[in-house]
Amino acid sequence: MKKLKIGYVLSYFHPFKDGTENNCLYLATQMVKLGHEVHVFTSDRRDEQVLEEKEGIINGIHIHRSKTWWRYKYYLEMNPGVIRSILKYDLDVLHIHSFGFMMYDIAFILKRLRGDKTTIINTPHGPFMSLDSYPWWQKALKEIFTVIEMPINWMYDGVIQVNTEQWKWITKSGVSQNRIHFVPDGIPQERFRKIDNKEFIKKHNLQGKLVLCNLGRVLKYKGQDDIIKALPDIVKKYPNVVFLSMGKDHGLLEECLRLAKELKVEDHVRFLGMVSEDEKLQGLDATDIFILSSEWEAFGIVTLEAMARKKSVICTDCEGSLYLVKPENGLLYHYGDVEGLKKAILELMRNTKLRKNMEKENYKKAIELTNESIARNYLEPLYYKLQRK
Query: Where is 182: in which H helix or E strand?
Result: strand 180-182
Sheet containing strand 37-43, strands side by side: 55-58, 61-66, 37-43, 5-9, 93-97, 119-123, 158-161, 180-182
CA distance 243 to 223: 13
User: How many residues are present in the chain?
Assistant: 389
In this structure, the strands spanning 241-246 and 210-215 are parallel
What's the distance, CA 38 to chain centroid?
21
Report whether 154 contacts 175 (CB < 8 A).
yes
Question: Given 3.40.50.300, 3.90.1580.10, 3.40.50.2000, 3.20.20.120, which CATH number is that of 5-186+370-385?
Answer: 3.40.50.2000
In this model, does residue 104 exceed pLDDT 90?
yes
Q: What is the pLDDT of residue 130?
A: 58
Fold of 190-367: Rossmann fold (3.40.50)
CA distance 111 to 109: 5
Q: What is the pLDDT of residue 209?
A: 98
Measured CA to CA in angstroms, residue 82 lies from 29, 61, 67, 106 at distances of: 21, 17, 8, 10
Burial status of residue 327 (CB atoms within 10 A of its CB: 0-12, 13-18, 19 or more) = exposed
CA distance 281 to 285: 6
Cis peptide before 15 (omega within 30 of 0): yes
In this model, does residue 94 exceed pLDDT 90?
yes
Domain boundaries, the chain: 5-186+370-385, 190-367
pLDDT digits (tens, 9 = 90+) for 297-318: 989 999 999 999 999 999 999 9
Average pLDDT rounded to a whole number, residues 74-79: 80
Can you state the angle between helices 102-113 and 136-154, rounded to 10 degrees? 20
First to last CA, the chain: 14
pLDDT digits (tens, 9 = 90+) for 8-61: 999 999 999 888 899 999 999 999 999 999 999 999 999 889 999 999 999 999
How many alpha carbons fall within 13 Å on the CB side of residue 226?
26
- pLDDT category at 74 given cuts 50, 70, 90 is low
3-state helix, strand, coil in the chain (%, to 5): 45, 20, 35
CA distance 324 to 288: 19
Q: What is the pLDDT of residue 72?
A: 76
CA distance 123 to 183: 9
Q: Phi and psi dihedrals of 347, rounded to 5?
A: -60, -45
Query: Where is 229: in which H helix or E strand?
Result: helix 224-237
Q: What is the pLDDT of residue 347?
A: 98
Question: Please, what is the Cα angle at 295 between 323 and 358, to 5 degrees?
Answer: 40
Average pLDDT rounded to a whole number, residues 353-374: 97
Average pLDDT rounded to a whole number, residues 172-190: 96
pLDDT digits (tens, 9 = 90+) for 203-249: 999 999 999 999 999 999 999 999 999 999 999 999 999 999 999 99
pTM, 2 dp: 0.90
In this model, does residue 254 exceed pLDDT 80?
yes
Q: What is the pLDDT of residue 18?
A: 83
CA distance 364 to 378: 19
CA distance 67 to 109: 21
Burial status of residue 368 (CB atoms within 10 A of its CB: 0-12, 13-18, 19 or more) = exposed
Number of other CB atoms surrounding residue 65 within 10 Å: 23
Measured CA to CA in angstroms, residue 109 lies from 4, 112, 113 at distances of: 22, 5, 6
Q: State the amino acid at position 287 in one-letter form.
A: T
What is the percent of the chain where pLDDT is above 70? 98
> Which residues pair with residue 37 across a beta bridge?
5
pLDDT digits (tens, 9 = 90+) for 135-150: 777 777 777 878 888 9
5-186+370-385 shares its CATH topology with 190-367: yes
- pLDDT category at 76 given cuts 50, 70, 90 is confident
